[in-house]
Structure 1
Amino acid sequence: MQRPGGDSETRWKRHIVRQLCHRDLQQHAAFRDLVQSYNKLLEKSVFLKDLTEKIQTEPLNHAARSPSSASHSPGPSDLHAIQKEIADLKASNGELAYEACELKKQVQERDDQLKEQSVRVAEFLDLLEGHRLQRQCLEEEEVRLVCANADLKENYDRLLYRRLLVEQNLHEKETEQREVIETMTRKKAMQAEQQNNLNERRKDEMWKSLVKRALRKTVSAEGDLRQQCSADSLDSRSLDMSRSSDREKLQPRKNRSQSMIALGSSRFVGAIRNLFDLNFRKEPTDCEMEDSWYNPSSVCVICSPPKRALYSQEIHDSEIHAVRFSPNSKMVATGGADRTVKIWYIVGGQLHIHQILQGSNGGITSIEFDPSGLQLLAASFDGSAHLWKLDGRANESLTGHKGKVTAARFKMSLHRAVTCSMDRTIREWDLHKAACVRCIPVSSYCSDVVCSDLYMIRGHHDKKIRFWDSSSHSKSWPPRSEHCVREVTLEEKITSLSIGQDQTQLLSCSRDDALNLIDLRQGNVLQVFRADGFKCGCDWTKAILSPDSSYAMAGSSDGTIFIWNAQTALLERSLNGEHSAAVNAVAWSLSGDFVVSVDRGRKAVLWSEY
């Protein structure tokens, strides 16, 4: 069998032979004249040598043949001519000999060049042979690589097919999981609706029985008209009794029920009513008439901890101190040391700038939306709080503090606000007049304040949480009590407070790297949250409760976000890899869909459970 490349090998050999023949012809033509000249010179040299010898021997032979040589010897002129001719012949012979030597030398040089070229030709032949062998090896390697590539392509196609199958199975499982979650949510909603309907029926039956009992005791038998009037009067009195009993239920008790229905005018109750479309048969109270503008937003009943980051970007020119979601969970506000408050829309898992609020002469320390979402209150290091109307009207400044304002909060109403400052005072404000209506001196620097229907709660640097009476159901102003009604002492100074939507639990963050969950009904600590690696980054680190009060969340000094289970106090999840600086604040939307965290590195991260 003919070896691969045999034809090509024969072709290049023939090509080399042709090139050598061509070179011989060229060199033979170049040296042909030289050889002919050299041969002519040799012939002339031989001829001159014979002529010289003949001339030298000819006089002697002539003298021997002629007896009268003495009388017939050549004259001086003849000898001179012969000698001159001999000299010319010798000179000509020398030149020819020199030319012959030069030509011989050139011939020798050409022979040397020919030898060198022959050696180079041999080297090139060896190199060509090596390249031929290398090419053969590369062709064999190419064949092997093509086979290996075909095997890899087959394996890749097989793995790709398996991957598609796994992704399809994963998608089916996720769909099944969502369906199961939706089914469970619908069942829980139906159970809650059934339970509420049952409670409504029981309540209606109770009122009917009370009215009938009252009618039996008070209706006289003097006539149908008097009986009807008496029934109407008793019916109105019974309704008044029901209203008074409802108001009594709203007053604080030592053993207060955990039912969310007994929370008065809190935002969480309104959200639950809208969520399940419940219609309580209750006449509006004075406070509810005053705040009839309030339209509660939807609140997530069951929250899940976030899993992944949807958006991560530096959004301020300096470190960020505060973040807060709007009541409708569609907007989020951030503020920091660059003296601005920025409002962002959440669209497609991204933060899009909507509005920039300016006017503060110091860094922003806290932010809060009013329940309608149309106003924003921010505390500032310039010794004042700033109220912005988001509908475009001019902003107002609440001035009067002599130190940095660390927190500013609405008091469950559009018209009241509370601020705390480093000048060791708490001020309550009438937002209609932008005037201070109450100044409370305190014994320690106040770091944060929150408000409920019943209390105004403050966290201090002397390690104490103080409760002041702030009942929103009192018709008088200021409230009845001017003194602290309760204190809770912790291990270290408090950095932030967060109250649950049902107003039964309070979460505090302190400098001993711990979070404490406090029962507002009993005033005792329910849970203490700690974790390896969690460290409170600064004196204004803010921790929060989830909308359903099932989880507690806070950011650490190393950029990690920790999430604890509020029932078991165990670490549920930690989120890291996005923040490289200390996390100052976190916010959880009321819908439960998003969490936003901000840090000292000017970065904000949007988290979600999906």
Structure 2
Amino acid sequence: MQRPGGDSGTGWKLHILRQLGHRDRQQHSAYRELVQSYNKLLEKSTFLKDLTEKIQSEPPPTSPGSHHDARSQSEAVAESGDIPALQKEMSAVQSANGELAFEACELKKQVQERDDQLKEQSTRVANLLDLAEGHQLQRQCLEEEVVLVVCANAELKERYDHLLSQRRLVEERLQETEVEQREILEDMTKKKALQAAQQNDLNERRKEEMWRRMLRKALRKTVSAEGDFVSNQSDDSHDTRSLEMSGSVELEKPLARQTRSQSLIAISPSRVLGVLKNFFDFRKEQPEFVGEDSWYRPSSVCVLCSLPTRALYSKEIHDSEIHAVRFSPNAKLVATGGADRLVKLWDVVGGQLQSHQVLEGSNGGITSIEFDAWGVQLLAASFDCSAHLWRLDTRSKESLTGHSKKVTAARFKMSPYRAVTCSMDRTIREWDLHKLACIRCVQVSSYCSDVVCSESYLVSGHHDKKIRFWDSRSERCIREVTLEEKVTSLYMDQDQIQMLSCSRDDTLSLIDMRMAHILRVFRADGFKCGCDWTKAILSPDTGYVMAGSADGTIFVWNAHTGALERSLNGEHSTSVNAVAWSMSGEYVVSVDRGRKAVLWSEY
């Protein structure tokens, strides 16, 4: 209820009292006139009633005196008028008296009703006064709370102003620091670019010198269409004669079905030097003993990859979905692994996959497969919280245990006796394969989905949308690349210059390993990453990018332009989990959730 009496505490009470007094005065004046009229009528009625009773009750006079009185009365009546007139007047008076009595009763009833209403209103006024008093107390409490809140707001405003000034100072410092960091980064980038250019020039000169020496040696050998070198069994005179032959390399008759990577006939003279380099690098004899600290850098023998166009072989080869596929370095074996806990080896013969060997011993599904540089060892990651190492020459098996959750990837490092694994337990572990012991453990902040190794650092892909570069000699993260969605796989080329990542935003990203920035992003209408372990690859000549989609289609992009070159469909009806490209560039194998493997080729 709003208080009309101003801000003082008693104003509203005075106002109510004034209103009640005004109402009493109005009603009292009306009742006073009514009561006065009623009293007058009542007095007249009583007088007439007494007079009538007195007249009716008095006997006629008998004595002379009474006769004299009666005579006097009759004379008085005669003087005042005749009796009928008086009787009429008395009847009229009695009738008016009755009406006045009825009106008096009605007025008395109305007075009683008004008294009842007045009592009700008085009770209501008392209740309202009590309610107003309660509201007044509540208002006082609220005013006290308002005062406290105003004081607290004033304190908060002071603190806010202080923090705002500090924030502005920190932002200014941050901007200055960012400017300094950009300048330092630009200087470092320029220096690194200059050093890289100088090192590249030096490397090119060294390579050219090495190729010249190797070319002089190659002039004394012949190359078959199968890629095997045959030394001429002759002395210096025969060497001299071989130099005079037309052409620096002697080719055998091509087979009925040649491929670009197996024959030098279709290669231009400008690429002969690179072909010989690749052949010689790949055909270097494997040392009888490789030390624990020895490092290798695998070399590709592929000159130019051919785009696959048709399926040569299609069959269900596992009892459940297949997660991983990998070609051996000599491109003669294919390894597949899946949820049935088996790793199966297949020979590629005449465009068919023929069973070669089955590797058992895993207690969980296989998630990834890796051959060493000579195809002698096979490393597989498993859902049984471990990685398994098979030696194909002795058919022995060892296990790397130490992870607490599923192992998502396992890779050989540049040394044949070092391996790296990553797991859902948010750790990356480095292993000594001689001792089968973990020699380093890196704790990461997110679930690791894949890992690759270079000479100087490890690279891991995570579900927090980041690719992290780790120093191979410490546990320090030296740089990060952030993508739009979580990473499903990583693939690094043979020269360790570029890396391909696949992520759940249905894109592939080609990343420069030296500068750790994205060179190109590959997308296509209809391409959809099927699961959290979908694997994408680069072709051996780094000219193409390939990945399987959730609908069973295989997409191939041009790595240099980003354009979609080809899409292969019709064979897979479920999501393609992984693809592999042979080192010769001739074959591609794809595997899917429906237990099927498909062998693709250009011919």
Q: Indicate the TM-score class for this superposition, using the shorter chain for normalisation.
A: 0.5 to 0.7
- Counterparts of 2:587 and 2:258, CA distance in 1: 23
CA contact (8 A) 1:493 1:511 kept: yes
Aligned to 2:312: 310
Measure how far apart 1:311 and its partner are.
Answer: 0.4
Which residue of 2 is the match for residue 425 of structure 1? 427
For the residues of structure 2 that align with 1:193 and 1:315, how far apart are their CA atoms?
36
Match of 1:190 in 2: 272
Distance 1:556 1:457 in 2: 24
User: What letter is aligned with 2:270?
Assistant: K
After alignment, is 442-451 or 301-310 more displaced?
Answer: 301-310
Q: Could you tell me how far 1:190 is from its partner in structure 2?
A: 2.8
In the alignment, residue 459 of structure 2 is paired with which amino acid? Answer: I
Kept in 2, the 8 Å contact 1:499–1:506? The answer is yes
Identify the match of residue 570 of structure 1 among 563, 566, 589. Answer: 563
State the partner residue of 1:45.
Answer: none
Change (3 A) 1:293 1:508: closer
Change (3 A) 1:458 1:354: same
Give runs of aligned pairs for residues 166-185 of structure 1, distance below 5 A.
Answer: 183-185=265-267
Q: CA deviation at 1:297?
A: 6.6
Q: Structure 1, residues 466-524: CA drift from partner, whole Å, max 9, x if none?
A: 01122xxxxxxxx2x32011100000000000001111000000000000000111111
Q: CA deviation at 1:386?
A: 0.4
The 1:314/1:437 distance shift into structure 2, 3 A limit, reads same
Give 3-state SS (helix, strand or coil) of 2:570's partner.
Answer: coil
Q: Is the 8 A contact 1:297 1:327 kept in 2?
A: no
Q: Distance in 1 between matches of 2:577 and 2:486?
A: 16
For the residue of structure 2 that corresponds to 1:604, the secondary structure is strand
Inter-partner Cα distance in structure 2 for 1:329 and 1:509: 24
> Aligned AA for 1:530?
R
Match of 1:274 in 2: 281
State the 1:290 CA deviation: 5.4
Give how far 1:310 is off.
0.6
The whole-number CA distance in structure 2 between the counterparts of 1:301 and 1:413 is 26
Q: Indicate the residue corresponding to 1:354 in structure 2.
A: 356
2:562 counterpart letter in structure 1:
A
Q: Structure 1 residue 609: deviation in Å?
A: 1.3
Task: Confirm whether residue 580 of structure 1 aligns to residue 573 of structure 2.
Answer: yes
Partner Cα distance (2:324, 2:257) in 1: 37
| Residue type at the aligned position of 1:438 | R
The runs of 4+ residues in structure 1 deviating greater than 6 Å are 174-179, 291-295
**Compared with structure 1, are the counterparts of its residues 305 and 326 closer, same or farther at alpha carbon in structure 2 (3 Å cutoff)?**
same
CA distance in 1, matches of 2:270, 2:593: 41
Question: For residues 4-41 of structure 1, what are the alpha-carbon distances to aligned partners after superposition, in whole Å with 9 as ceiling and x for unaligned?
Answer: xxxxxxxxxxxxxxxxxxxxxxxxxxxxxxxxxxxxxx
Asked if 1:516 is matched to 2:516, the reply is no
Q: Contact conserved, 2:299 with 2:494, CA < 8 A, in 1?
A: no
| Paired letter, 1:444 | S
Question: Matched residues in 1 for 2:441 and 2:275: separation?
Answer: 45
C-alpha RMSD over aligned residues: 2.9
Partner of 2:418: 416
Q: Please give the per-residue CA displacement for 1:348-402, whole angstroms capped at 9, x wherever unaligned.
A: 0000001001111110000001111111100000100000111234201111100
Hey, what's the Cα distance between the residues in 2 that align with 1:190 and 1:323?
32
**Counterpart-to-counterpart distance in 1, 2:266 and 2:499:** 29
Residue matched to 1:301: 303
Residue 600 of structure 1: aligned partner: 593
2:325 maps to: 323
Aligned to 1:469: 471
Report the Cα offset of residue 192 of structure 1.
4.0
Partner of 2:555: helix, strand, or coil? strand
Partner of 1:253: none
What secondary structure is seen at the aligned counterpart in 2 of 1:188? helix
Tell whether the 8 Å contact from 2:469 to 2:479 is kept in structure 1 after alignment. Answer: yes
Q: Counterpart of 2:409 in structure 1: which amino acid? A: A
* CA contact 2:372–2:416 (8 Å) conserved in 1: yes
Match of 1:398 among 400, 408, 414: 400
Distance 1:410 1:582, change over 3 A: same
Verify the 8 A CA contact 2:502 2:508 in the aligned structure 1: yes
Q: Could you state the TM-score of these two structures normalised by the residue count of structure 1?
A: 0.54
Deviates more, 1:389-398 or 1:361-370: 389-398
**Paired residues of 1:295 and 1:372 also in contact (CA < 8 A):** no
Structure 2 equivalent of residue 256 of structure 1: none
1:297-326 C-alpha deviation (Å, 9 max, x unpaired):
752021121111110000000000000000
2:365 maps to which of 363, 366, 369: 363
Question: 1:274: Cα distance to partner?
Answer: 2.8
Equivalent AA in structure 2 for residue 376 of structure 1: L
Match of 1:496 in 2: 489
Cα distance between partner residues in 2 of 1:599 and 1:504 = 29
- Write the distance in 1 (CA, Å) between the matches of 2:258 and 2:452: 42
The structure-2 alpha-carbon separation of the partners of 1:185 and 1:555, relative to structure 1 and needing over 3 Å to count, comes to same
* TM-score under structure 2 length normalisation: 0.54
Contact 1:445 1:461 in 2 (8 A): yes
Q: Name the CA shift for 1:381/1:289 in 2 (closer, same or farther; >3 Å).
A: closer
| Conserved 8 A contact 2:511-2:519 | yes
Partner amino acid, structure 2, of 1:323? V
Aligned to 2:438: 436
Tell me what 1:338 maps to. 340
Gaps in structure 2 of 5+ consecutive residues: 1-255
Distance 2:375 2:346 in 1: 13
Once residues 318 and 306 of structure 1 are traced to their aligned partners in structure 2, the CA distance between those partners, rounded to angstroms, is 26
User: Would you say the 8 A contact 2:300–2:494 is kept in 1?
Assistant: no
Equivalent pairs: percent with the same residue? Answer: 72
SS of the residue corresponding to residue 414 of structure 2 reads coil
> CA separation of 1:536/1:176 partners in 2, compared to 1, >3 Å: closer, same or farther?
closer
* Closer, same or farther: CA 357–572 of 1 in aligned 2, 3 Å: same
Which digits, 9 at most, give the CA deviation of each residue in 1:96-154, with x for residues without a partner? xxxxxxxxxxxxxxxxxxxxxxxxxxxxxxxxxxxxxxxxxxxxxxxxxxxxxxxxxxx
Q: 1:175 to 1:376 in 2, by over 3 A?
A: closer
The alignment partner of 1:185 has SS state of coil
Q: Aligned pair count?
A: 346
> Quick one: distance in 2 between partners of 1:331 and 1:424?
33
Distance verdict in 2 for CA 1:394–1:579, change over 3 Å: same
Q: Give 1:455 deviation, angstroms.
A: 1.7
Q: Tell me, in whole angstroms, the C-alpha distance in 2 between the residues paired with 1:310 and 1:370.
A: 27
Query: 1:520-535 alignment to 2 at 5 Å?
Result: 520-535=513-528
Alpha-carbon distance between aligned partners in 2 of 1:293 and 1:309, rounded to the nearest angstrom: 38
> In 1, are the aligned partners of 2:587 and 2:600 still within 8 Å (CA)?
yes
In the superposition, relative to structure 1, how do residues 318 and 566 fare at CA in structure 2: closer, same or farther (>3 Å)?
same
Instruction: Call closer, same or farther: CA 1:482–1:454 in 2, change over 3 Å.
Output: same
Separation in structure 2 between the aligned mates of residue 177 and residue 604 of structure 1, nearest angstrom: 23
- Alpha carbons of structure 1 residues 288 and 494: separation in structure 2 relative to 1, 3 Å: same
Residue ranges of structure 1 left out of the alignment (5+ in a row): 1-173, 197-270, 280-286, 471-478
